[in-house]
Amino acid sequence: MANPERVRVWDLPVRLFHWTLVASFATAWLTSDDAESLHHWAGYAALGLVAFRLVWGFAGSEHARFSDFVPSPAVLRDYGWRLLRGDEPRYLGHNPAAAVMILFLLTMVALIGCSGWLLTTDFGWGNERIEEAHELAAQIALLAVAIHVAAAIYESFHQRENLIRAMFDGHKRAR
């Protein structure tokens, strides 16, 4: 029986994408020096996931679509000011700051994956600039992941809603 107090926000493809990307990124990070083949395949999986998410951002369910959550600069600015005052509104889907983080993380994973792939080609093999870009992008992405997790925990307490659970079961409180 459906719970009228909870609504589905994130569909199964979004949730599978999210947790599979977490696993791919973690695997690639943890195997960067030890298991080259696994590192490469985890990176390719992450690139494939980003490609899927780009398609799903246009063809997916309501809250999966970029048109639902990518904010205008004015909306983002207003949300930022309200966040600093501690009176930001609750969003059923992603809030504007989370939307920017999603776009940033997608971009970083794509950059990491593409630079990693380049390092396996004749063009990029041994290229220190590409290797440095790859490693720097991975470090920046890891920092962004930490901020993302901290923000989800903050938002969970501030809005009295378990966002981590919502990313597993797909449901949030109704408006």
Please check the confidence at residue 126 and state whether its pLDDT lies above 70: yes
Q: How far is it, in rounded angstroms, from Cα 125 to Cα 106?
A: 25
Nearest to 172 by CA among 2, 10, 1: 10
Mean pLDDT (the chain, rounded): 93
Q: Give pLDDT, residue 46.
A: 97
Q: Each residue of 52-62: pLDDT tens digit?
A: 999 999 999 99
Report, as an integer, the average pLDDT of 119-128. 89
The pLDDT value recorded for residue 5 is 87
Per DSSP, helices labelled H in the chain are: 12-30, 36-59, 66-69, 73-85, 96-118, 128-158, 163-169
Higher pLDDT, 4 or 90: 90
The closest of 71, 144, 75 to 107, measured between CA atoms, is 144
Amino acid at the residue 146: A
Q: Which pLDDT value is given to residue 2?
A: 59
pLDDT of residue 128 exceeding 80:
yes
Domain boundaries, the chain: 6-173
Please write the tens of the pLDDT for every residue from 143-166: 999 999 999 999 999 989 999 999
Confidence of residue 174 (pLDDT cuts 50, 70, 90): confident
Would you say residue 1 has pLDDT above 80? Answer: no
pLDDT at 36 over 60: yes
6-173: which CATH number, 3.40.920.10, 1.10.3720.10, 1.20.950.20, 3.40.50.9100? 1.20.950.20
**Can you give the pLDDT at residue 3?**
67
For residue 127, the model assigns a pLDDT of 87
DSSP assigned state of 63? G
**Per-residue pLDDT at 18 exceeds 90:** yes
